[in-house]
Amino acid sequence: MNSPSIDPAPRYSRLDALRGAAIVWMAGFHFAFDLNHFGWIKEDFYRDAFWTGQRTLIVSSFLLCAGMGQALALHQGQRWPRFWRRWAQVVACAFAVSIGSWLMYPRSFISFGVLHGMALMLLLLRFAGPRLPLWACWPLGLAALLAPQFWRHEFFDSRWTNWLGLVTHKPIAEDYVPVLPWLGVMLWGFALGRWLLASRPMLLRGGLPEVLAPLALLGRWSLTFYMLHQPVLIGILSVAATMRG
């Protein structure tokens, strides 16, 4: 997913490539999920640690990139109008994901998935980030990660309140990325980006081997790819299932 935080110039190709790699991993995961949905394979994507662990790592990589992208945006002096344009695109896509998932999975549709979470967390980071000293981002991120382990309440179990993450049980949904604990991952990405820009800028600014250029290109268009890849995969597998039958 494109972070609504990176200005068009100069591009930081290494960050783009990192986001592109996360997109490729996510597409592979979704392809396996779709194969399971159509009955081509038989896997438990909801309880098997092999699949749930991959999902956690994929979401973490996206949020780390988003946090680093926000650090870069502030470093480059990104203006509010550009932020709002990109943020509105993420919100519109999140809404589209909810509608699409409701049509396909009415009992487990996505009410607060990765795009919903990213939209809210980027907004929080945009307002609070410039006011946070770098050192404070690390313990605040840890606190966000640990909060759901120490404070839960049934009040947060409904679809209207589970976006915060303090639920007593995980909701039945095809995707669920609440503010807590995931804000902690984005905060750590933000802190890492700030530290790299201040202390090791060439780790971000350095060039890429030509073989990785497609990943960087994909990373620049990651929100578009995210929105299109599942309809394309589902369409292809639907046709394949018809031919198979």
Distance CA 151, CA 173 (A): 22
The residues, any chain, with a CB within 8 Å of residue 41's CB and separated by 6 or more, are 32, 35
Between these two residues, 5 and 60, which has the higher pLDDT value? Answer: 60
Q: Which of 4-18, 110-124, 218-232 has the lowest mean pLDDT?
A: 4-18
Residues 6+ apart with CB under 8 A from 151: 166
Element (H, E) at 134: helix 134-150
pLDDT over 90 for what percent of the chain? 89
CA separation for the pair 125, 187 (Å, rounded): 8
pLDDT band at 104 (very low <50, low <70, confident <90, very high): confident
pLDDT of residue 60: 97
| Direct distance between the N- and C-terminal alpha carbons of the chain, in angstroms, rounded to an integer | 35
Q: How confident is the model at residue 66 (pLDDT cuts 50, 70, 90)?
A: very high
pTM of the model: 0.91
Summarised one tens digit per residue, pLDDT across range 180-238 is 999 999 999 999 999 999 999 889 888 899 999 999 999 999 999 999 999 999 999 99
pLDDT tens digits, residue range 37-58? 999 999 999 999 999 999 999 9
**1 falls in which pLDDT band (50, 70, 90)?**
low
Where along the chain do its domains lie? 13-244
Q: How far apart are CA 69 and CA 8, in angstroms?
A: 12
What value does the mean pLDDT take over residues 143-155?
96
Q: What pLDDT was estimated at residue 5?
A: 42
